[in-house]
Amino acid sequence: MKMFRKLSLTTMTALALSAGAVHAAGAEAEITNYDFPFEGPFGSFDTNQLQRGLKVYTQICSACHGMEYVAFRTLSDEHGPALPEDQMRAYAENFEIFDPALDDGLGDYRPATPADHYPESSLANAPDLSLMAKSRAGFHGPYGTGISQFINGMGGAEYIASLMTGYHEEPECALEMDVPMDGYYNVAFANGGFPDECKDEHGHYTVPGSWISMAPPLYGDDIDFDDGTEATLEQSAKDVAAFLMWTAEPKMMARKQAGLTGVVFLSLLAALLYLTNKKLWAPHKKRVEDE
Ligand code: HEC
């Protein structure tokens, strides 16, 4: 046992060291731990926030990004944006879907119906956003530096919101370059281009983030929210991130509830087993005490 502990400690140290080394050589992302109403065991999606996020996606992001795994009818889901049926139907009709059966098999565009999915991305290098909130992690861990996944979860929504608010002026080191970097400097984006001018003599990155090819999509005051919420940059960023969390995991509420039911059920079972065990052993225990 002792041996095992020693071994695992050594392995852990080695892992920690190598992780540290990898970290130092790559870009580091600055992620803000924004609060979302769906966090925690009792959290749930906020319908108003999802409707605001839907509006941000529709008016801004959908110009480039598709959501081909999301069907329009789900916008009426009770735990989703909960659009009334007629509104959802009218909303779908704003999108054009290519239907290969139309025009005698030549195919043609028609307005979308509730059964259709959103179109795919219209800009080739803009990734589909349906599952984005689950395919990116804002937090790393479990015991890494900064905010750990162990306590805060994956942080997909935090990542998207931080990406929206992460556009900064280019750092000083990049201004000295003869040929400017392609793209836009973003402190939350770790996978983009990074100039040698911003690395030190050991190859360590001296500034967070990297250069992304998406121009800043949000500036603040881009949207008129129907519920009167002020559309600051941070508000719109959080709302679209919450909406994309819902598209990526529409059944989150059901999953949480199943989890809670499981905990309650197992607690009851444990209590019953404890009592049964006590009762079964009681006569034997008594005999020992009598002796
Ligand atoms: C003008 C086109 C355009 C618009 C509008 C746009 N994007 Fe993008 N987006 C891109 C492109 C291109 C990329 C790929 C960037 C790269 O990999 O360098 C991208 C990448 C992303 C990524 C993935 C980043 C990663 O980690 O790989 C997310 C998330 C994203 N966009 C969210 C949004 C949201 C949310 C909106 C609306 C508020 C939006 N985008 C609006 C073009 C756009």
- Assess whether the C-beta atom of 124 lies below 6 angstroms from ligand 1: no
Q: Is 187 exposed, middle or buried (0-12, 13-18, 19+ CB in 10 A)?
A: buried
How confident is the prediction for the chain on average, in pLDDT?
Answer: 89
Q: Where are the domains of the chain?
A: 25-67+124-250, 71-116, 258-291
- Assess whether the C-beta atom of 125 lies below 6 angstroms from ligand 1: yes
Asked if pLDDT for residue 181 goes beyond 80, the answer is yes
- Assess whether the C-beta atom of 61 lies below 6 angstroms from ligand 1: yes
Centroid of ligand 1 to alpha carbon of 291 (angstroms):
78
Q: What mean pLDDT is predicted for residues 123-138?
A: 95
According to the model, what pLDDT value does residue 65 have? 98
Going by pLDDT thresholds of 50, 70 and 90, the confidence category of residue 270 is very high
Centroid of ligand 1 to alpha carbon of 127 (angstroms):
7
Q: Beta 96-99 vs 184-186: how paired, if at all?
A: unpaired
Asked if pLDDT for residue 14 goes beyond 50, the answer is no
According to the model, what pLDDT value does residue 25 have? 57
According to the model, what pLDDT value does residue 146 have? 60
According to the model, what pLDDT value does residue 150 have? 73
Q: What mean pLDDT is predicted for residues 117-125?
A: 95
Centroid of ligand 1 to alpha carbon of 123 (angstroms):
10
- Hey, what are 170's tokens? 């280019």
Asked if pLDDT for residue 166 goes beyond 60, the answer is yes
Q: Which residue has the higher pLDDT, 90 or 289?
A: 90
Q: What mean pLDDT is predicted for residues 109-116?
A: 97
Ligand 1: which of 135, 214, 240 to mutate, most ligand atoms within 8 Å of CB? 214
Cα torsion at 189, 195, 197, 201 (round to 10°)?
80
Asked if pLDDT for residue 13 goes beyond 60, the answer is no
- Hey, what are 192's tokens? 């983009």
pLDDT in tens, 194-212: 999 999 999 999 999 999 9
Q: Got the DSSP string for 173-239? A: HHHT-SSPPSSEEETT--SSB--GGGB-TTS-BSSSSEEESSPP---SS----TT-----HHHHHHH
Going by pLDDT thresholds of 50, 70 and 90, the confidence category of residue 152 is confident
Contact call for residues 119 and 96 (beta carbons, < 8 A): yes
Asked if pLDDT for residue 281 goes beyond 80, the answer is yes
Centroid of ligand 1 to alpha carbon of 78 (angstroms):
28
- Assess whether the C-beta atom of 132 lies below 6 angstroms from ligand 1: yes
- Hey, what are 252's tokens? 């989150």
Asked if pLDDT for residue 148 goes beyond 80, the answer is no
- Hey, what are 282's tokens? 């009681």
pLDDT in tens, 15-71: 444 444 444 457 889 999 999 999 988 899 999 999 999 999 999 999 999 999 999
Over its C-alpha atoms, the chain yields an Rg (Å, rounded) of 26
- Assess whether the C-beta atom of 214 lies below 6 angstroms from ligand 1: yes
- Assess whether the C-beta atom of 238 lies below 6 angstroms from ligand 1: no
According to the model, what pLDDT value does residue 24 have? 47
- Name the CATH topology of 25-67+124-250: Cytochrome Bc1 Complex; Chain D, domain 2 (1.10.760)
